[in-house]
Amino acid sequence: MTASSADAWLGIAIPRVEAPSVVSTAGMTAEGLMDAYVDGSAEAFDELYRRVSPTLFGYLLRLTRHRERAEDLLQVTFAKVHRARGSYLQGAPVLPWLLAIARRSFLDERRHASSRSEDLSSDGTLPEPRQQDAALSVDLSDALERALDGLPDAYREAIQLTKVAGLSLVEAAEVLNTTETAVKLRIHRGYTQLRKELDSFTRRA
């Protein structure tokens, strides 16, 4: 994505610095890119977006289980990142900070959706009709996805952040605004529940 397309995509104007007019992003870390972006480099934003948007989108897709909602929330997340860039502590790990903003965007959207009068499901989407034979799928990967989706939100998020997004326990605790011990416990309980679901699946298969 070019600098001009980045601005147009977000509908925001990134403040420019007089010098240098173009920042070389080759070899820069995500933290270095964020620092340069805070200082006004649109080139740094483009490269940061290219690097982290797949991870953020995957995380949001896991949370929403709906591609269009995840795409919308990705845009909302980066708009919030732009507005909050001044609060970023330069040099701090950037991915946990971005994931925390993405998570808050999801929770805000879910709260807004749950305030409507429709009968919404627990994740803020309209419930889909149940298929009688869904639990009888012979595809183990599908069974795993269903089992993960069926976990309590706290367990599922802890597993997604550490095993899908690749965060450390400390970073995941920062995103979830909890302790490292709590994250470990959520992961352990989530895995215990997943094993039970998959054991049940293999017995049925």
> For the segment 151-191, what is each residue's pLDDT rounded down to a tens digit?
898 998 999 898 878 889 999 999 999 999 999 999 999 99
Question: pLDDT band at residue 205, thresholds of 50, 70 and 90?
Answer: low
Q: Do 100 and 5 share a structural domain? A: yes
The set of residues, in sequence order, having a beta carbon less than 8 Å from that of 140 and lying 6+ positions away, is 198, 201
Number of domains in the chain: 2
Residues 15-40 have pLDDT tens digits of 444 444 566 787 899 999 999 999 99
Q: Comparing 81-85, 115-119, 188-192, which segment has the lowest mean pLDDT?
A: 115-119
CATH for 9: 1.10.1740.10
Domain assignment of residue 52, given as a range = 1-125
Kindly report whether the global pTM for this prediction surpasses the value 0.85.
no
Output the pLDDT for position 141. 62
Shared domain for 68 and 145, answered yes or no, is: no
Q: What is the mean pLDDT of the chain?
A: 79
Same domain, 117 and 192: no
Mean of pLDDT values over 95-122 = 77
- What is the 3 state secondary structure string of the chain? CCHHHHHHHHCCCCCCCCCCCCCCCCCCCHHHHHHHHHCCCHHHHHHHHHHHHHHHHHHHHHHHCCHHHHHHHHHHHHHHHHHHHHHCCCCCCHHHHHHHHHHHHHHHHHHHHHCCCCCCCCCCCCCCCCCCCHHHCCCHHHHHHHHHHCCCHHHHHHHHHHHHCCCCHHHHHHHHCCCHHHHHHHHHHHHHHHHHHHHHHHHHC
- Entry field: residues in the chain: 205
Instruction: Check residues 106 and 123 and name the one with the higher pLDDT.
Output: 106
Residues 201 and 140 in one domain: yes
**pLDDT at res. 149:** 80
Residues 48 and 65 in one domain: yes
Does residue 9 sit in the same domain as residue 83? yes
Q: How far apart are CA 204 and CA 136, in angstroms?
A: 7
Per-residue confidence (pLDDT) for residue 135, from 0 to 100:
41
| Cβ 102 vs Cβ 72: under 8 Å | no
The mean per-residue pLDDT over the stretch 198-205 comes to 68
**What pLDDT does 60 receive?**
92
- 65: alpha, beta or left? (left if phi > 0; alpha if psi -120 to 50): left
Residues 163 and 118 in one domain: no
Give the model's pLDDT for residue 176: 92
Above 60 in pLDDT, residue 120?
no
- Write the CATH number for 142: 1.10.10.10
Instruction: Kindly state the percentage of the chain with pLDDT values over 90.
Output: 45
